[in-house]
Amino acid sequence: MNLVNRLVVAAMPLVPRPVVRRIAHRYVAGETLEEALETVRALNDEGCMATLDVLGEDVEQREETGRTVDEYVRALDGIASRHLDSNVSVKLTALGLKIDREHCRREFDRIAEAARRHRNFVRIDMEDSSVTEATIRLFEEARRDSENVGLVLQAYLRRSRDDAARAAALRANVRVCKGIYVEPDEIAFQDREEIRDSYSSLVDVLLGAGCYVGIATHDPVLVERALATVSLLELPPEAYEFQMLLGVAGELRRRLVSAGHRLRVYVPYGEAWEAYSMRRLKENPAIAGHVVKGLFHRELRPRARPLPGNSN
Ligand SMILES: Cc1cc2nc3c(=O)[nH]c(=O)nc-3n(C[C@H](O)[C@H](O)[C@H](O)COP(=O)(O)OP(=O)(O)OC[C@H]3O[C@@H](n4cnc5c(N)ncnc54)[C@H](O)[C@@H]3O)c2cc1C
């Protein structure tokens, strides 16, 4: 970890709440569904699709999962009633994966059912390596019941090559990302070029197998490589999409959209925004570099309202 990042992480508890809010404001749509839907509307107006993420993960009590599921169902209802172009992304630990696997499956099914009712789609985010296998298994089960569910594979995991073969066998809808959690060398590539090579090879294998792929990256090298594969395979724009995080790489996003590529923006929202931002920082201190930049520079993004209490 770079020294500056280390210092920023150590200093985070001392950073005044309004400053944390200002930083989070760039990456989080707000605390309420209303704010999130307004952000989606603005993105749709720019030609981008969206995926809504209700913030929160790693619940400790079974009772805590119901509220999250209800919020996802409300989000899917809200997307449909406003005719917005957005699906949802969900973390299984927020539905109790670590507490009670069957309970988690039932809670996930409630979201998948709401998505089905609205002819929409739910993607299962990928979390740290302690739940990789359990997440893929639950996905495989759910995918057998319905096509409107998708998975995420992380390029830094050495196992993802095999997992891509499993996903390809199901012609699954897969988001490929680098991976955000800090993982040990035994299970994850650490070298930037190795991660890039793994990323491109996953995208190539999945696209080649006829899977719909969400190419989730802000790395221009990976975007170029994916575009080369798309061109080589002569794929139509409906066969894949690019995905980016809210508040990141706006210029690259605009370039891809104006070149006619589908692009989806990940829109997190919810009351847990502060805990989420702090946890992300502790899990991957490399993000601290972005925090420093966030203090001095704010990229313009479509936003309707600031987070409550934020005067910016
Ligand atoms: C739509 C989407 C969904 C994701 N879902 C998951 C998931 O389910 N599981 C998971 O483990 N990870 C997920 N991630 C995170 C992902 O794994 C990476 O950690 C993250 O995207 C950074 O990797 P990169 O490919 O953009 O490359 P990097 O090399 O990290 O970034 C390329 C450039 O993008 C910019 N950049 C990247 N991230 C940020 C940021 N936060 N703030 C400001 N600038 C930034 C920087 O300028 C950087 O130089 C997701 C990412 C996206 C875009």
Per-residue pLDDT of 42-65, as tens digits, reads 999 999 999 999 998 788 888 899
Residue 26 binned pLDDT confidence (cut-offs 50, 70, 90): confident
The Cα–Cα gap between 9 and 207 comes to: 38
67 noted as active-site residue: no
Residue closest to 54 by CA, chosen among 78, 29, 77, 79: 29
The Cα–Cα gap between 81 and 298 comes to: 32
| pLDDT tens profile 75-115 | 999 999 999 999 999 999 999 999 999 999 999 999 999 99
Q: Which atom of ligand 1 is nearest to the CA of 264?
A: 1
Q: Is the pLDDT of residue 211 over 90?
A: yes
Q: How many CA atoms lie within 13 A of 123 on its CB side?
A: 26
Across all residues in the chain, what is the average pLDDT?
A: 89
The Cα–Cα gap between 32 and 304 comes to: 12
Q: From the CB of residue 13, how many other CB atoms can be counted at a distance below 10 Å?
A: 8
Q: Is the pLDDT of residue 294 over 70?
A: no
| pLDDT tens profile 150-188 | 999 999 999 999 999 999 999 999 999 999 999 999 999
Phi then psi dihedrals of residue 143, to 5 deg: -65, -30
* Three-state DSSP state, 87: strand
Single out the catalytic residue among 175, 196, 301, 303: 175
Q: Which atom of ligand 1 is nearest to the CA of 155?
A: 17
Percent of the chain surpassing pLDDT 90:
74
The domain ranges of the chain are 3-296
Give me the torsion for CA of 29, 244, 282, 192, rounded to 10°. -170
If phi > 0 it is left, if psi is from -120 to 50 it is alpha, else beta; for residue 228 that is alpha
Q: Name the CATH topology of 3-296.
A: TIM Barrel (3.20.20)
Q: Which has the higher per-residue pLDDT, 35 or 56? A: 35
What pLDDT is recorded for position 286? 66
**Does 283 sit in the ligand 1 pocket, CB within 6 Å?**
no
pTM for the model stands at: 0.90
**Does 249 sit in the ligand 1 pocket, CB within 6 Å?**
yes
Residue of 8, 53, 191, 218 to mutate, ligand 1, most atoms within 8 A of C-beta? 218
254-270 average pLDDT score: 97
Residue of 48, 55, 126, 180 to mutate, ligand 1, most atoms within 8 A of C-beta? 180
